[in-house]
């Protein structure tokens, strides 16, 4: 889009472009979302930015009316942003630079810190430090508006190392003290709520049905009546529960996290966005898939269908292996046993949610016989042990180059193409991943795997969404 096209989208307050760009108004020094309900400025007074951090670097301050921190993130999986910049942005927005250095982040991505800086500067026009500061302040601003927390609690929950640094950064960015935004008196609380925007439509019920069929006993619970998803979480040594529901009035998902997870709000928000695929652009995806006569009716029946992501990459990889050549129900039972055998206990007020899925290091230290004891074959146990070791020693990372990740997955004995493509769909967020040999997909269109693969080429780059539409119809049949 050129700037004139962006201005036309601004005039229309078109929600499809929410989070795709931001507009700075030179006469006020404020930047807004394209859906802001304030009076639209003249074209000559508008400056357009790709990222909130870019607007802030130019000296603009966030609008207090449309609240840019609530905008959905850019759907980066198929746009021009390089995989390195995309991966770096995701890690930084999840808090990677709160307690670690850029060198640490770059090492995890298999690049140098200089290369990461150059990629971010080229793609989004800001440095890693500026991006991290914008992410921290956006979270702090949301908590100030919506939560009854003390300044100290907000500072640390937002990833700042001290209250002094928080106050200084907030004043520098917004020209006022953070306390000036606080509308509620601080009080004790059991949960903290986060609001995560998305681009409508969102097929929330269909998404919950998919997760409900695969909900691990002890780890996850879906309530289709209340329309909520709940799960345990263990992040940075802290445990608790996370509950998600659709906002009653906004195009947003509300995440309620246990107060014990307060210092992990940034990774929680990042994981929730990935799990519910909140950065997708449903109009672009739906209009493309509807060109195929076999998909058109399905897309029309379930507009805004998402590809469920993964709360944790290792978790979904293990579950994919457990699900090989057995039913969804049987795989879910095995996953629940696996979590209870190796996971950490969680104190929870929600009945049945009492264990967190284990991390790779814990499983890597287990003996093959212990893995077999949950009811899997020796070959499956060996594959899971190999996966755990690959994750634990850093040989397999699902946040770097997706082609490298797929190659590493398929190099593990027992991980075939179906498993790798399924993991790519859910853990890598690869929109074009497509397990064409899947029996449900083959039956849905009554084609051979090879014919299905050939047919799917026309659905690219959204084949993962096509798979979801086919699976969804099968689940409802």
Indicate which CATH number applies to the domain containing 339.
1.10.340.30
∠ CA 274-140-39, rounded to 5°? 90
Indicate which CATH number applies to the domain containing 128.
1.10.10.60
DSSP single-letter state for residue 21: B
The answer to whether the peptide bond before residue 201 is cis (omega within 30 degrees of 0) is yes
Q: Tell whether 205 and 350 lie within a shared domain.
A: yes
% helix, strand, coil for the chain, step of 5: 50, 10, 35
The percentage of the chain sitting over the pLDDT mark of 90, rounded to a whole number, equals: 84
Q: Tell whether 382 and 425 lie within a shared domain.
A: yes
How far, in Å, are 214, 218, 255, 374, 412 from residue 311 at the CA level? 13, 15, 13, 22, 22
Last-in-domain residue among 188, 210, 229:
188
- How high is the pLDDT of residue 80? 44
pLDDT band at 75 (very low <50, low <70, confident <90, very high): low
- Residue 340 reports pLDDT greater than 60: yes
- Domain interval for residue 311: 193-476
Q: What is the pLDDT of residues 398-411, one digit of tens each?
A: 877 778 889 999 99
Q: Comparing 182-191, 222-231, 269-278, which segment has the lowest mean pLDDT?
A: 182-191
Domain assignment present for residue 69? The answer is: no
Q: Are strands 61-62 and 30-32 parallel, antiparallel or unpaired?
A: parallel
Is residue 63 annotated as part of the catalytic site, yes or no? Answer: no
Mean pLDDT of 43-49: 96
Domain assignment present for residue 246? The answer is: yes
DSSP codes of every residue in 195-223: EEE-PSP--HHHHHHHHHHTPPTTTEEEE
- How high is the pLDDT of residue 397? 82
Q: Are strands 191-197 and 46-49 parallel, antiparallel or unpaired?
A: unpaired
- Residue 477 reports pLDDT greater than 60: no
Q: Output Rg (C-alpha) for the chain, integer angstroms.
A: 22
- Residue 13 reports pLDDT greater than 70: yes
- How high is the pLDDT of residue 86? 86
- Residue 468 reports pLDDT greater than 80: yes
- How high is the pLDDT of residue 81? 57
Q: Tell whether 377 and 319 lie within a shared domain.
A: yes
Mean pLDDT of 19-32: 96
Marked catalytic residue, from 251, 279, 359, 438:
438
Q: Tell whether 182 and 212 lie within a shared domain.
A: no
Q: Tell whether 121 and 22 lie within a shared domain.
A: no
Q: Tell whether 335 and 419 lie within a shared domain.
A: yes
**Structural domain tally of the chain?**
3
Q: Tell whether 373 and 290 lie within a shared domain.
A: yes
Mean per-residue pLDDT of the chain: 92
- How high is the pLDDT of residue 82? 77
Marked catalytic residue, from 18, 32, 46, 251:
32
Q: What is the pLDDT of residues 129-138, one digit of tens each?
A: 999 999 999 9
Q: Tell whether 182 and 206 lie within a shared domain.
A: no
Q: Tell whether 180 and 297 lie within a shared domain.
A: no
Indicate which CATH number applies to the domain containing 31.
3.40.10.10
Q: Tell whether 37 and 100 lie within a shared domain.
A: no
Is residue 32 annotated as part of the catalytic site, yes or no? Answer: yes
Tell me the C-alpha distance between 273 and 78, whole Å. 17
pTM, full prediction: 0.91
């Amino acid at each position: 889009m050129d700037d004139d096209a962006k201005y036309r989208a601004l005039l229309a307050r078109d929600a499809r472009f929410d989070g795709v760009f931001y507009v700075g108004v030179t006469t006020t020094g404020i930047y807004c979302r394209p859906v802001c309900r304030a009076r639209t400025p003249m074209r000559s007074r508008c400056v357009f930015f790709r990222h909130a951090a870019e607007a802030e670097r130019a000296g603009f301050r966030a609008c207090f009316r449309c609240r840019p921190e609530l905008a959905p993130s850019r759907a980066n999986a198929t746009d021009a942003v390089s995989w390195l910049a995309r991966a770096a942005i995701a890690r930084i927005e999840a808090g990677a630079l709160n307690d670690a250095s850029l060198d640490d982040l770059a090492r995890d991505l298999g690049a140098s810190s200089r290369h990461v800086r150059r990629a971010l500067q080229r793609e989004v026009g800001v440095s890693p430090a500026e991006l991290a500061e914008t992410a921290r302040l956006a979270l702090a601003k949301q908590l100030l508006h919506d939560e009854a927390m003390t300044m100290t609690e907000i500072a640390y929950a937002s990833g700042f190392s001290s209250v002094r640094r928080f106050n200084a950064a907030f004043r520098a960015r917004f020209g006022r003290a953070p306390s000036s935004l606080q509308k509620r008196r601080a009080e004790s609380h059991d949960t903290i709520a986060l609001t995560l925007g998305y681009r409508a439509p969102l097929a929330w019920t269909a998404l919950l049905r998919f997760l409900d069929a695969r909900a691990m006993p002890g780890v996850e619970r879906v309530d289709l009546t209340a329309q909520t998803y709940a799960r345990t979480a263990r992040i940075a040594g802290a445990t608790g529960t996370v509950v998600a529901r659709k906002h009653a009035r906004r195009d947003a998902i509300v995440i309620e996290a246990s107060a014990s997870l307060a210092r992990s709000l940034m990774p929680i928000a990042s994981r929730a966005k990935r799990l519910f695929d909140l950065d997708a652009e449903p109009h672009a995806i739906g209009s493309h898939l509807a060109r195929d006569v076999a998909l058109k009716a399905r897309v029309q029946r379930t507009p805004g269908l998402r590809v469920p992501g993964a709360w944790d990459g290792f978790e979904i990889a293990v579950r994919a292996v457990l699900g090989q050549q057995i039913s969804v129900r049987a795989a879910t039972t095995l996953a629940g046993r696996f979590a209870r055998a190796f996971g950490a206990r969680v104190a929870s007020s929600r009945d049945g949610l009492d264990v967190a899925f284990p991390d790779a290091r814990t499983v890597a230290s287990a003996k093959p016989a212990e893995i077999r004891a949950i009811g899997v074959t020796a070959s499956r146990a060996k594959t899971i042990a190999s996966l755990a070791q690959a994750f634990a020693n850093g040989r397999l990372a699902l946040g770097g180059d997706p082609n490298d990740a797929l190659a590493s997955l398929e190099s593990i004995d027992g991980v075939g193409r179906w498993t790798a493509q399924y993991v790519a769909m859910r853990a890598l967020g690869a929109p074009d991943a497509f397990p064409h040999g899947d029996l449900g997909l083959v039956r849905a269109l009554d084609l051979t795997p090879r014919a299905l693969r050939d047919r799917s080429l026309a659905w690219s780059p959204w084949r993962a969404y096509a798979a979801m539409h086919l699976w969804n119809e099968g689940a409802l049949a």
